Amino acid sequence: QFKRGLLHEFRKGNATKEQIRAIIIGVRKGGTRALLEMLNLHPAVVKASQEIHFFDNDENYAKGIEWYRKKMPFSYPHQITIEKSPAYFITEEVPERIYKMNSSIKLLIIVREPTTRAISDYTQVLEGKERKNKTYYKFEKLAIDPNTCEVNTKYKAVRTSIYTKHLERWLKYFPIEQFHIVDGDRLITEPLPELQLVEKFLNLPPRISQYNLYFNATRGFYCLRFNIVFNKCLAGSKGRIHPEVDTSVITKLRKFFHPFNQKFYQITGRTFNWP
Ligand code: A3P
């Protein structure tokens, strides 16, 4: 209620640099939208509705930090403003640029089992092609190099899922303590404990409760309840049905990601049950 309280309306303004204390930097198809929307349930968090793409887009970056600040939502001084642009995680220049804005910023990364994430990534691109009545390759054809029969590391959906490679670039600028890894698979099935870990990481008092999250059987996902009248589910573009992928390709990919995953667990101190 405080968030919407008219009495306090006059104190609202564009986020100051100090209020941009956390960013969801990725990973694409990890559940970044769900995480942002769910965090926005917290009275001390205000989200930027759109992906701002300030740090990964040279043209936007050239417009300067004031442009970025103005793209952020209005908020009260005690609130944290937060945005998500999943391309940040994989874009070379971004860590340095964010460091220059705020070297003590908290960085949230939401990950999913890498092979599932790659297929989800493919599914999104496939849907875009189909919308334009274009045909597209099968996932198997993109993910496996036809000459070597090995995993095609040139394929972006594969590369993005090598989480440790990207994280290592970030670690040249930020210590590991400034990152929090969210389990995107668990955010789907059991969102509350994941959100409570984020509240803790952001030093926020625990305010998100089971009341705010209800399972919608039709959607097959948790939806958000802000109050007695206002609730919402994520758009239909979240939770697409993935095409069936050849099991031998899945096995090959899982084997390929395995050593990278081990390294990722080691660096982050968070272990997942990925095969
Ligand atoms: P799929 O479409 O593969 O199922 P992003 O927002 O980063 O693009 O991630 C999209 C993914 O968020 C979806 O992937 C979906 O599984 C996941 N997700 C997590 N929680 C969700 C929720 N409550 N509602 C809808 N999708 C959710």
| The pLDDT of residue 35 | 98
Contact 270, 201 (CB under 8 A): no
CA 32 to CA 34: how far, in whole Å?
6
**Catalytic residue, candidates 12, 17, 29, 156:** 29
| The pLDDT of residue 83 | 96
The two beta strands, 45-47 and 80-84, are parallel
Ligand 1 center–CA 148 separation, angstroms: 33
Check pocket membership of 26 for ligand 1, CB cut-off 6 A: no
- Structure token digits, residue 237: 């573009």
Ligand 1, atom 20: closest residue by C-alpha: 188
Give the chain's residues under pLDDT 70.
Answer: 1-13, 17
Whether 29 is catalytic: yes
Residue 48, beta-bridge partner list = none
CA 128 to CA 240: how far, in whole Å?
12
Ligand 1 center–CA 149 separation, angstroms: 30
Whether the pTM exceeds 0.90: the reply is: yes
Known binding residues are 29-33, 112, 120, 222, 238-242
Contact 242, 139 (CB under 8 A): no
| The pLDDT of residue 19 | 74
Q: Is the ipTM of this complex over 0.85?
A: yes
Check pocket membership of 71 for ligand 1, CB cut-off 6 A: no
Phi/psi-derived region of residue 26, left when phi > 0, alpha when psi is between -120 and 50, beta in every other case: left
Q: What is the pLDDT of residues 146-200, one digit of tens each?
A: 999 999 999 999 999 999 999 999 999 999 999 999 999 999 999 999 999 999 9
